[in-house]
Chain A
């Protein structure tokens, strides 16, 4: 068989025919890594497969369906679209597969959605509203763009120009002002000047995630240009989804490396960890809390920097040059934990499924909008685990996680507290807000 030219470009499903055709049904994509398997309970990390049960909902089923689609052996129907979209693209399958087999599962799933859009089968009716919101109001909530900065506390003033640009994101701007406020409080106390984009647009997470790659690319270009114009060296965010978009999917869409963006992309937890190590931030106010931490997918499994690749694949499937593999090994796992464990009074317990084995909250990548029941179900599953470990507070690092968990907690009347890590950090800083520069 002659060598084939392949790239990691998700706008062409042909690039992933190899991956789809090499799935062996080991279900490493579904099960928790066997080394970390907790037992008969909490044994899976794929919400779709766990909820819908048919093989077709796990990545191992999707690979087969995707291959049939690529080879024209199957027609679109409602079931197929449900299978493609009732999935948070959480990356558990990708990491699970790469433990042993190194197939590009996540990219394949993204490419399938791009194809669905290209074939006119998507976006789904349930996504139309949020798409319209983002395309016209530049935020996923359809709220007024003028009110995007209303969260900013009076006593804190962003700089016109600064090394750190805080990308607030739609959720923190409009729904979770506590996160944005906590974030800027932290920067303020640490004496870190920060700036904001004059006209901050949605990062385009949903647009990209549901497969509208062309539109997403336009947003990416515009957003990157805005940041470059600002001259910031660091784009800081406290939303895992925004983080992943900026750090991974923007370069992916533009076929550049993360390193070539022109600025670093950091999540608040990474930055705070740096600040603590430099002695610029001290978390000394004791908090008497028994907490556990939920690893956000986009901050952990999916967060390794993007490296574009194109090459050839030949005998035995050997690629040249070798594909640089992103296996979720170097996700942001440690920093949030070290931060929490350093706060006096905090008793830290791990979730049963942690780090790369975490069970997605269920909200991301278009699922909350299209399949709210599924999103609620996934959150409920994760909350069962929370109860099992006997913590008081569920700490998250993403407003999507926070909101999804909170909604379920409220609906069920549970007595569980969910806090974003920014809030905990902010609470543990002894000093009051100093006021911006």
Chain B
């Protein structure tokens, strides 16, 4: 036994040495307090410590690290952000944290002509949005991303955008990945020889031969390490008009959305319940949360109309006219207004919020109680009320007041589907509170699954439950992963791996 431990120690030291050789001593650490930081995040996932942290400078270094990891059969955990919510970067079996956020955070190209940007994985929302804004551009965004999160990671993880009008959806184009075996590979049209010194700009995400990039999506860092990606960017609209509608009958407003979003009206369009909207607005505008939360209607529809690069007023005009006609003839009870009662300048403020990452130090989801456990999935909008009442029922049974649940409905692509999210707030220092929420979520998952919730991004313990039910999907996933990661070193313990 003693010799086994000794062998282990020697091996670990050897690994440490070799890692240091690859990245340089200033980019290597085995310091406990630092390892501690990587062992937990904002989620309820149990902690897990890595053995090392490295900060590589380029893909070649990552490649050599992975070769090493395969040699020693030691896991690696890619990290590109500085804030984590779902436990995906917490090591489950020890290993090496490969943190790209320190060095691999450059905006490599901004190609205005082709409305494309190429960024390294470590580029944050704050970085990117600022740079694009300077040039009059934006990228379609999920709701209030954390400023220190990796843009590439969030898109790989399929965070749902607040913009419903683009048929082509996701912004991801050609990227570079280091496969778990250590091979550096470019996907899509970035795969041409010599890229980026080529007529190909990496604007096509598909191929070569097979859609590799699909395997990287939703992978929680288990299929490879993306070092840079091309993304589609859009022009910032010239004019925006933010409209609000108070909602008491959720089904009614959902029908309204089925009607208007099909007509390709609007840019950003979302539904927030009073708690979430109150948190967001009070947190960013220094308003009184309690007052706001009780004065806001149960739900609020936010609809942004925009005029684009040419004749912008005319675009808003025809969209407004269409909206007016529909409200007048079909949905009399919808009251669209540029004002949000109780909040002066809400429109302007919210527009800024929708086009930028969260501006404050404390993330909005943590403002209320300090901690937040989320449950989200994709469903058909018409089913949202059913899921909501089910969730409220389960919450109540677990001692969580239904009126304390934060809720968010994000219509997707003309309202063909929606992202439905429940936020359960808790005080992370109150262990009972934490347990209650943990228990609630655990009870909720199978119930929602039974009702038809489609969990496309199963984090933490949800993964096991979902993959058990999707047995054949899990088994094919494992077979596929085995091709790219025969030694199962790439972030094992996530998903079904």
A and B touch in the complex (CB under 8 A): no
